[in-house]
Amino acid sequence: MPAASTDAILHINGLCFAYPECPLFQGLDARLPAGTTLVLGADSSGKTSLLRLLAGELVAGAGQLVLKGVPLHASPAAYRAQVFQGDPRSDALSEQVAQDWLAALPARYPQFDAAALVRHIEGFELQEHLHKRFLMLSTGTRRKVWTAGALASGAALTLIDEPVAGLDKPSVQYLQQALAAMATQADRAVVVAHYDALVGVPWQATIALPDR
């Protein structure tokens, strides 16, 4: 678990959650700092569920989440406004044109970094795909478009689940470089759920989930 820090972006206090007959978290405490945090675990360890809890998408049985001083339980809209989270495979994206989806993000995220988006589009080699609807994109390309938007969003809490699924080797290498650069950011936490540590990424904190 990450060490406690008065500068933590996200405070996780006594988080409890269970599916019917399947307890996942019992009194989870963590302080996620600025930079990069790895949620490490095997399949079915609860990685995706934890990210959905941190996003306020799942409701915890007990505990509190406080993001940059905003408690989820007291101010859910203000809390969620600081979070970038989603699933690039979602049918909700299918009919959207990639460049239109990206162009709409600055209105949702005040700290959106347009220059960073240009870098990520180049790094993931997305230029020829931006005019296409998501449903026309391969699994890997959908993920690259979504990840480019996530990294450029500037959201205080950016949640990325299984980041390399469907990616080709050059894209994995670029993602590792982009995440390494994120490690030095002072005002946002990028939380990545994966089954290994991703070579070259200096994680500021790690939450290791036990096998189930």
Q: Over 80: is that where the pLDDT of 161 sits?
A: yes
- For residue 18, the model assigns a pLDDT of 94
Assign 172 to helix, strand or coil. Answer: helix
Q: How is the chain split into domains, by residue range?
A: 10-208
CATH class of 10-208: alpha beta
Side-chain half-sphere CA neighbours of 21 within 13 A? 0
Query: How does residue 155 score in pLDDT terms, banded at 50, 70 and 90?
Result: very high
**Phi and psi dihedrals of 77, rounded to 5?**
-65, -45
Query: How does residue 194 score in pLDDT terms, banded at 50, 70 and 90?
Result: very high
pLDDT digits (tens, 9 = 90+) for 68-96: 999 999 999 999 999 999 999 899 999 99
Q: What angle do CA 34, 147, 136 make, to 5 degrees?
A: 170
For residue 163, what are its two tokens?
A: 């980041």
Task: Kindly give the pairing relationship between strand 70-71 and strand 189-194.
Answer: unpaired
Give the pLDDT mean for 43-57: 95
